[in-house]
Structure 1
């Protein structure tokens, strides 16, 4: 679906995980047990794929909100303060906030170690309650980080049906399952694709779900898993991104950068894409804006909170 351009952009809601991110690097060799090592780069910030996307949407000035939760600790207080806008629906739950340690590797890879914390209580019923009274007709809704919320996995597809039945245009970014892909998780991911208007996958996720690393075959398999007319996006990091819709494939290259921290790059891409989509842009400008916004974010270290002008080319900090 593609809404016509309007003076008032559509509302965007991001449903999913919010947690604390502890970023450290670069970790080229794992330290010996019982020792201490110091690293030149570190950042402590709000994280989680959904919260990352929602933060960038704030910086883009989008009509957006986050639907999520946090624990009852200092990290939770920070999340609650960051998402206290008119469209935010962020609950406070007892117990610790989930957190992720992001290990940076040269040249631009990262590894995650995560503690689930409060995220194991975010099931489909939680999100339906959080959306009580929210008008969803015509809204763009991103369901992000499904595999990071154990309690949501079984009810993920039912939540998608709930959202679409109420008139939302639905995008998903499922993330990576715990460890690696099992046959069960592959079936789940394909079922989620079948109920999506936009699938936002990185190249590793796309290859796993499609069962091939051949790009043409990958696009074909994933397009077949989506409803006809839905949009497939494959995020390719420094190579840019590919979009496929109704038999048409578009590729956009990325500006050459030398980032310190690529954590959240795909989430920033999602924000740029949704922001452009909400403004009624066609597919290529949506993809170009997404690549530009992702490049802007990875050029920052530590991450900022200032407004982003996506019309300007990103420049290394």
Structure 2
């Protein structure tokens, strides 16, 4: 099987350098790489040139349209039997393509997704963010695992699509704000087989500080309402959990300020959640510092998603603003 790796890029030259360095180490060699510069001001042309002759690599520059339509640009030019999408802030284990090739031969899928993990080189904050994005105590618990609620939806930081899917379904029809989930729902509706390849993990850096992480997750919360506009049945009870948590946090604060008796119960429940996050992260990361930071990132994830979710319920569903 020949793979086409498609990487949209926007103002992140250093990230693409690190990603391409990991692709040099792939044990499975039947692949090409398409790097598509999506209207970047700070482009990676000089960096990409240094990989010429080392990778089967093509570099494109196009006006800014967002990551969804940029991936379509790559699909249109890809030569492979199977297209693989990575975000530019990922590092790829050396056996990734070998694992995917072996898995697809044993268990053919028309579309797959893989999980993300924390790399030893990540900063403590990045490791804490990685924990909160995969934790069972946040919405991360429904991402990248076999026990997903409902149909599994691959995420575009680590997604594979067969050429057959591209030829029948086409590509992304929205370019941002939940575009990967919308796409996977259409692929599933068209009758194609979708699944998780658990061992096909990538090391996903995500954001490097709390503020960047908050902005990203706030956008994810808003994106869920965008998906709802296309597929109302895909809005599940679990998607309301961050909003319920956020409102509960606000209520707990008010109860403590007002001296209401219920404040004690709220404080105990909050303390239990904090302890669960701390000790679970401590077991996974073997670091008290990362465990402490995981409490912060978990609360950021839940409140940012909850606020973004509620914002667009109010703006798009109640006020009908678009």
On whether the aligned pair clears a TM of 0.5, the verdict is no
TM-score by length of 1: 0.29
TM-score by length of 2: 0.28
Larger Rg over CA atoms: 2
Greater share of residues in helix: 2
Greater share of residues in strand: 1
